[in-house]
Amino acid sequence: MESEPKKETEVAPALIAVHPDQSSVAVAVGPHLRVFDLLAGSAASLIDDSDAVPFHKDNIRAIRFGASGKLLVSAGDDKTVKVWSTQSWRCITTVSSEKRVTAVAVSNDGTFVCFADKFGLVWVVDLDPPLRDKKPAPLLSHYCSIITSLEFSPDGRFILSADRDFKIRVTNFPNKPLNGAHQIQSFCLGHTEFVSCLAFIQSQECPQGLLVSGSGDSTVRLWDITSGALLDTCEVAIKAGLLESNGKAEEHGHAVTDLCTIQDGLLVAVAIQSLQGIVLLNCNVSAQTLSLAKVVSVAGEAFVPTCLGSSSSTGKLWMVTGVSNLPGCNNPSLARVRVISGIDVKQEPVVLEDDNIPGREKLLETLQGTASVDDNVFLAAAEAVKAAMCNLLIKKQYPSENREYRKKSRNDRKLKG
């Protein structure tokens, strides 16, 4: 048998999260969590005096602001979930997970933090009373599947979990979630590849929200979560010109990687593997349809966003591209931040120059680690992230030719005598 391959540190995409009031922006690359305080105009100093694991020791896989911006949650491969106060920037709670964490969500009132692990389990932690170390309770499970996204519905009634087996599960979030969430409301089934991201569209006409999801099948879909009904499908990769409309079903590499709703959800920004920029979609709430609004390209540099963020009603979309541990690269943490403003049904979106973004150079220095970036390396970064995502989430197809060869070490196949 071949010897075990040397364990390499995994390539992880850069992440971005924006405070609901846009008072701060956070970027995570590898184990580094960087926050820029836009009100103060300087980097926020994070304080973590946890005994067990101060700061993160391995790739951060999820960050988000919660509870109307009072909390920032970060979690990842070091099997911890950290909850930070956005007033003091102090880590108020560290939760240990048995497995690597792939997604986090915060209940609307900030009482509960939910996180999902690589084996399909979703856990819940009660933040009240605030304690330094918390033990999580199991909430629900997607059997042997990787959970890619967790979201609470806008009215807080449901918790949604999406997985790599093409499913989205909508579960009633109970009054006592520590006893588990057993009542499934619906399954949103229709994607033909892993589901990668979820977001909610809210409007006056639809206060309980419509769900949008992005997937490895290169589509964005619109759902009614109460019934699980698929309302509309938008083939974004085809619309963005990345794929032919009769493209081979087997062709991968145009997965939707992230989604973000802007302007109270009338617009949805979509990031797709291989697209240097984003696709903007319109949602018609009464007709329950999605349509292409615009493709916004980032000119002048290779920029394939790995993560998107926005604060409602500023009309600005924040994007980051980057990766940790890129093979052959000196810098273990690469990140580049760009902002698109004017995302409005009435205006024309504009990709802002570095001087014009909120926080300007100081913000870029803090979040990117450096103000100026080497452009060439980001193409390689995008490829590395694409490969990592496919390896993780797409089922391997083993050819039937050498099946006997692969099974030869199985006990019941070994030659006797």
Q: Which is nearer to another protein, 8 or 412 (CB)?
A: 412
Q: Which is nearer to another protein, 346 or 410 (CB)?
A: 410
Q: Which is nearer to another protein, 109 or 353 (CB)?
A: 109
396 scored as a contact of another protein (CB under 8 A) = yes
Identify the residue among 90, 109, 111, 187 touching another protein (CB under 8 A): 187
Identify the residue among 39, 40, 47, 189 touching another protein (CB under 8 A): 189
Length of the chain: 417
Identify the residue among 180, 247, 332, 358 touching another protein (CB under 8 A): 180
Assigned token pair, 276: 């240097």
Smallest separation (angstroms) from another protein to the CB of 407: 12
Per-residue interface string for the shown chain with another protein, residues 136-155, x marking contact by CB under 8 A: --x-xx-xxx----------
Q: Which is nearer to another protein, 143 or 405 (CB)?
A: 143
Burial of 27 (0-12, 13-18, 19+ CB in 10 A): buried
Nearest to 367 by CA among 15, 59, 9, 72: 15
Smallest separation (angstroms) from another protein to the CB of 254: 19
Distance CA 282, CA 269 (A): 9
414 scored as a contact of another protein (CB under 8 A) = no
Element (H, E) at 293: strand 289-297
Nearest to 101 by CA among 164, 46, 150: 150
DSSP 7-69: -PPPPEE-EEEE-TTSSEEEEEETTEEEEEETTTTEE---B---SS--S-SS-EEEEEEETTT
- Positions 226 through 255 that interact with another protein (CB under 8 A): 228
Q: Which is nearer to another protein, 106 or 393 (CB)?
A: 393
CB 307 within 8 A of CB 13: yes
183 scored as a contact of another protein (CB under 8 A) = yes
349 scored as a contact of another protein (CB under 8 A) = no
Smallest separation (angstroms) from another protein to the CB of 415: 17
Of 94-102, 105-113, 165-173, 270-278, the window that binds another protein (rule: CB under 8 A) is 165-173
Identify the residue among 167, 316, 336, 338 touching another protein (CB under 8 A): 167
101-106 and 15-18 as β-strands: parallel, antiparallel, unpaired? unpaired
402 scored as a contact of another protein (CB under 8 A) = no
Beta bridge partners of 229: 224
- 158 CB contacts (<8 Å, ≥6 apart)? 152, 170, 171, 172, 173, 185, 225
Sheet of strand 267-272, all strands in order from the earlier edge strand to the far edge: 256-262, 267-272, 277-284, 289-297
Smallest separation (angstroms) from another protein to the CB of 222: 15
Q: Which is nearer to another protein, 172 or 203 (CB)?
A: 172
CA dihedral 245, 251, 254, 256 (to 10 degrees): 90
CB 123 within 8 A of CB 141: no
Smallest separation (angstroms) from another protein to the CB of 122: 10
Of 127-135, 176-184, 266-274, 326-334, the window that binds another protein (rule: CB under 8 A) is 176-184
- 238 CB contacts (<8 Å, ≥6 apart)? 218, 244, 245, 247
Name the residues that contact another protein, by CB under 8 A: 121, 138, 140-141, 143-145, 157, 165-167, 169, 171-176, 179-184, 186-187, 189-190, 192, 228, 395-397, 412
